[in-house]
Structure 1
């Protein structure tokens, strides 16, 4: 008997899941990396887990954030994806976006309540390491509306 996945929403290994399900999961991760918001949203709306994780614990939102797809990050967060879900290395989507210098993604994550102190290293520490503390100081849409 095979061991169940350690991550809820993670596709089971090919020994326990039909190959079609494994192939679909891989396709969803590719959609997240490419930023294909409409197609990925349709799958999530049809029942694919918003917090689906790959074998390394990266969620769809993490992959979208890391690849700079702010619109997809916004869409997944609106569909219930956890903006603070850490991968197996303890990294948050916010820290990944800061590492990549994705300012628009950082703004979206902060608008959806991402914690700059989640994970290891935290997003705050990542910003300091890369000399980009300004990324955490960007105004969110609600703050810029007040001016």
Structure 2
């Protein structure tokens, strides 16, 4: 059985999945919660950004979505989209206050994810924005260490020693 809060969020979740920015704006104006997770624990912003819906992401941010809210293991939206390399979305999130050096439960950052998944354009964007490449995860690995482990030669040329 779903809670009332979940059921009231369902139209927003559906609009997000469809990338329907106009419907998102309307639903938020009618009282939908831009930060309430769906039944699997994903916020509307996580869903929109992960699917690459730029205008839907923009509508959610304009409607009060928190770019730093974390889900599963402390991953932020910026970390989540590093997997897919959505650089335009990353810039939008950063422009709306996404924490560049936020760390998840393992101490990993979006920069580390970009290195791990070979998303070098995303990596460049994060470095230009001032990401701290010297941070280490809970295993003691820096982004450069991860680049070496994954054979990401490009990252090795742009990350500091």
TM-score calculated relative to the size of structure 2: 0.67
| Unmatched tracts of structure 2, length 5 or more | 127-161
Closer, same or farther: CA 88–42 of 1 in aligned 2, 3 Å: same
RMSD: 2.1
Cross-structure match for 1:138? 125
Query: Alpha-carbon deviation of 1:107?
Result: 1.3
Are 2:68 and 1:77 aligned?
no
Give the secondary structure class of the aligned counterpart of 2:41. Answer: coil
* Cα distance in 2 between the residues matched to 1:62 and 1:73: 9
Query: Alpha-carbon deviation of 1:101?
Result: 1.6
Query: Alpha-carbon deviation of 1:117?
Result: 2.1
* Cα distance in 2 between the residues matched to 1:107 and 1:66: 14
* Cα distance in 2 between the residues matched to 1:119 and 1:75: 26
User: How many pairs align?
Assistant: 123
Query: Alpha-carbon deviation of 1:23?
Result: 4.0
Larger Rg belongs to: 2
CA deviation vs aligned residue, 1:86-142 (integer Å, no higher than 9, x gap): 113321111111111212111111111111322423211111111224314339xxx
Cross-structure match for 1:127? 114
Give the secondary structure class of the aligned counterpart of 2:58. Answer: helix
Larger relative contact order (CA 8 Å, sep ≥ 6): 1
TM-score calculated relative to the size of structure 1: 0.73
